């Protein structure tokens, strides 16, 4: 069984519509794929239908943008949550709205030095999609400023850049609680991605575990080797679900579908725990 539990469509910052992503998953020889767009679930219906037509197993999910009390970015994956659970939807609305304001501020700063505008960024973002720096990167590519998203993230869009602006986001403990209330299964995404920026201290893991964190995404290309060893110890100590996945973003990132996989018994645990939505296997 080839199971990849972390992918993005153009409902957030991936480059393919959900149905195309599912076709790509089939082409990559995956048996099961989860769609985990940032901060929304608008792609589930299309993905589920394509998965049924192509005979691919589908797990509905999402990746929630969070920030801990020290301002460190945390991404929380969740699976099988009720997509209509209003308290969670309210938080996601706040988050997506603050992303728009923040992206506009980044563009304002960039526009002082580069030929880009909010209109150009909007052309690279599907209506209603969760906007992020990758869409700004795409506008910078069109404007001839950089050649790839990767190049943009390496300098002018990095968190260390003078053009960078952050945005407020939900505390990871509150996100874990809301996911559980929605019948979902919360899994900490790429928890040891040291190259992306600061990683949370061990205390944050314990705080999240205390409120019901169910799993950790260990097998992910951005986790450091040392971080993976730490996570494996933590998972053993607290009997956490362990996942592996690609974090595929279509043409927007080097990550390839199926480059990391989740063991079938771990998917079984997710399915046993999730009560807010159905997987189609
Ligand atoms: P934001 O959510 O606006 O802060 O932007 C972060 C998003 O950018 C993440 O979800 C990643 O998928 C994406 N990202 C981060 N680094 C890179 C990179 N080097 N190349 C392409 N996309 C990236
Ligand atoms: Fe992303
Ligand atoms: Fe992420
Ligand atoms: Zn992701």
3-state SS assignment for residue 33: strand
Tell me, in angstroms, the distance from the centre of ligand 2 to residue 259's CA.
16
Atom of ligand 1 nearest to the CA of 253: 21
- Beta bridge partners of residue 74, listed in sequence order: 66
Question: Does the CB atom of residue 220 touch ligand 1 within 6 A?
Answer: no
Smallest-distance ligand from the CA of 121: 1
Q: What is the DSSP code (8-state) at residue 60? A: E
Residue 112 Cα to ligand 4 midpoint, Å, equals 30
**Ligand (nearest to CA of 193):** 3
Asked if residues 80 and 184 have their Cβ atoms less than 8 Å apart, the reply is: yes
Q: What is the pLDDT of residue 198?
A: 79
Q: Quick check: pTM over 0.95?
A: yes
Does residue 250's CB lie within 6 angstroms of at least one atom of ligand 1?
no
With a 6 A CB cut-off, is 13 part of the ligand 1 pocket? Answer: yes
Q: What is the pLDDT of residue 95?
A: 95
The angle subtended at Cα 60 by Cα 55 and Cα 66, nearest 5°, is 150
CA gap 33, 51 in Å, rounded:
9
Look at ligand 1, atom 3, and give the residue with the nearest C-alpha. Answer: 132
Q: Helix or strand or coil: residue 271?
A: helix
- Please tell me the distance between residue 227's alpha carbon and the centre of ligand 1 in angstroms: 20
Query: Residue 164: which residues within 8 A CB-CB, separation 6 or more?
Result: 106, 157, 158
What is residue 195's predicted lDDT score, i.e. its pLDDT?
72
Residues 6+ apart with CB under 8 A from 51: 22, 33, 57, 58, 280
- Ligand 1 and 177: CB distance under 6 A: no
Q: What pLDDT, on the 0 to 100 scale, is given for residue 199?
A: 85
The domain made up of 3-93+167-273 is a member of CATH 3.20.20.140:
yes
The answer for 247, left when phi > 0, alpha when psi is -120 to 50, beta otherwise, is left
Q: How many residues does the chain have?
A: 281
CA distance 33 to 5: 6
Dist CA 10 CA 259 (whole Å): 20
Q: Please state, in angstroms and rounded to a whole number, the distance separating the CA atoms of residues 11 and 132.
A: 11
Taking every pair of C-alpha atoms in the chain, what is the biggest distance, in angstroms? Answer: 52
Q: Is 133 in the pocket of ligand 1 (CB under 6 A)?
A: yes
Which stretches of the chain drop beneath a pLDDT of 50?
A: none
Q: Would the CB of 132 count as within 6 Å of ligand 1?
A: yes
- Name the closest ligand to CA 189: 3
Token reading at 228 = 């993976």
Helix (H) or strand (E) holding 63: strand 57-67
Q: Give the C-alpha separation, 47 to 119, whole Å.
A: 29
Is ligand 1 within 6 A of the CB of residue 153? yes
- Residue 251 CB contacts under 8 Å (≥ 6 apart), including other chains: 15, 16
């Amino acid at each position: 069984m080839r199971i990849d539990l972390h992918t993005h469509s153009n409902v957030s910052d991936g480059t393919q519509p959900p149905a195309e992503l599912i076709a790509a998953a089939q082409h990559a020889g995956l048996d099961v794929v989860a769609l985990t767009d940032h901060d929304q679930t608008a792609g589930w219906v299309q993905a589920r239908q394509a998965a049924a037509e192509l005979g691919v197993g589908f797990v509905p999910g999402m990746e929630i943008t969070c920030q801990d009390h020290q301002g460190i970015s945390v991404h929380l994956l969740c699976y099988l949550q009720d997509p209509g659970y209003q308290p969670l939807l309210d938080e996601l609305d706040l988050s997506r709205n603050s992303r728009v304001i923040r992206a506009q501020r980044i563009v304002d700063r960039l526009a002082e030095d580069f030929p880009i505008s909010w209109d150009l960024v909007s052309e690279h973002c599907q209506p209603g999609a969760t906007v992020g720096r990758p869409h700004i990167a795409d506008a910078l590519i069109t404007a001839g400023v950089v050649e790839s998203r990767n190049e943009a993230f390496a300098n002018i869009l990095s968190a260390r850049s003078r053009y960078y602006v952050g945005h407020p986001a939900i505390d990871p403990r509150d996100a874990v609680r809301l996911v559980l209330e929605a019948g979902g299964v919360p899994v900490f995404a790429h928890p040891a991605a040291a190259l992306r920026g600061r990683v949370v201290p061990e205390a944050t893991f314990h705080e999240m575990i205390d409120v019901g964190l169910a799993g950790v995404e260990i097998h992910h290309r951005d986790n450091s080797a040392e971080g993976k060893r730490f996570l494996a110890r933590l998972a053993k100590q607290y009997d956490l679900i362990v996942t592996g996945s690609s974090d595929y973003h279509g043409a927007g990132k080097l990550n390839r579908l199926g480059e990391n996989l989740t063991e079938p018994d771990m998917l079984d645990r997710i399915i046993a725990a999730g009560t807010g939505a159905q997987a189609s296997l």
